[in-house]
Chains A and B, each alone.
Chain A
Amino acid sequence: MDFVWAFIIGGLICVFGQICFDVFRLSPAHTMTLLVVLGAIAGGLGLYEPFAEFAGAGATIPITSFGNSLVKGALQELKLHGIVGVITGMFEITSAGISAAIIFSFFAAWLCRPKG
């Protein structure tokens, strides 16, 4: 069942993105930015965690979860260390994703060439 929901919810979030592309004529950069901010807002309202519980990868794989993870990290540290925690904690959870993206993009560029 996990798999079914992951498929459906992930698909629906992408449909929202497609509507941003085709109907609202937003560029990919604008759309992704919008989704990240929406994910952050949902996370801030405490809605993203229960959503991810139920949708699994359908919620954690889309870029919206990046926004949620940033907020989650910020709030975690905020609870422990006060206001400074907002800044120190932000990238704690997303570190895996960003680090992986940088590291693997670097090695990819080192070893490969674009094909045009």
Chain B
Amino acid sequence: MANKKNQKLTPTQQEYQKLAKKAEPPRPVLANCLRAFLAGGTICLIGQAVQTAFIKWGGFNKQNAGNPTVAVMIILSTILTCLGVYDKIAQWAGAGSAVPVTGFANTMSSSALEHKSEGMVYGVGGRMFEVAGPVIVYGTVAAFIIGILHWLFNPSIGGGF
């Protein structure tokens, strides 16, 4: 039963891995998805309320209200992280709390908090992007590649050959 993944494993290892897989309690995928939906939806709902408030009373319009909204959501997430509550919510919500930008803020504030013991420079400064780093790096690289592709192939941008 050799397949690419198992190529480097001995028959004993392959057999044991089958046994271990069977013994693994299954993840409650449907329940997790439902909770993620509810939690994620709620966070976005709160975001929508904040955005609407900024448009109604903040003098922003639909185009630029997104920015202060994101900032507010980040502040809220940071506060919940400091209160020691975000991780408890996350155990229930799963991706529902990780996927929204509140999850991004949680990665940064939790790293900053955790490494305070190593000092404000090495610890807080140096380790803040521990978990969030990949998001920023890959977002930037992807945007760069897409930008170059547009420059090369998008006639309306003054590029195109």
Contacts and interface: CB of A to CB of B under 8 A. Distances in A.
A and B touch in the complex (CB under 8 A): yes
A6 B99 contact: no
B116 A14 contact: no
Contacts of A3: 45, 48-49
Contact of A63 (B100, B120, B128): B100
Contact of A113 (B69, B100, B113, B139): B113
B36 A18 contact: yes
A56 B71 contact: no
Which 7 residue pairs across A and B have the least CB separation, nearest first?
A: A10-B44, A14-B40, A11-B41, A17-B95, A86-B147, A115-B84, A57-B47
A105 B105 contact: yes
A63 B79 CA distance: 19
B113 A60 contact: no
Interface of A: 2-3, 6-23, 28-33, 35-37, 39-41, 43-44, 52-53, 56-58, 60-63, 65-67, 70-71, 73-75, 78-79, 82-83, 85-87, 90, 93, 96-98, 100-102, 104-106, 108-116
Given A23-B29, A96-B70, A100-B70, A33 B135 contact: yes
Contact of B51 (A13, A60, A85): A60
B160 to A, nearest CB: 12
Interface class of chain A by DSSP? helix
Contacts of A33: 134-135, 138
Given A21-B95, A108-B109, A90 B40 contact: no
Residue of B41, B111, B120 with highest tally of chain A CB at under 10 A: B41
Interface string B68-94: 111101110011011010000000001
A45 to B, nearest CB: 9
B42 interface: yes
Interface residues of B, number: 78
Contacts of B9: none
A113 B117 CA distance: 9
Nearest to A9: B44
Contact of A61 (B27, B70, B71, B84): B70
Interface in B38-63: 38-45, 47-52, 62
Nearest to B27: A22
B47 A75 contact: no
B99 A13 contact: yes
Given A23-B29, A57-B69, A63-B101, A105 B108 contact: yes
A46 B47 CA distance: 23
A6 B47 contact: yes
B70 A29 contact: no
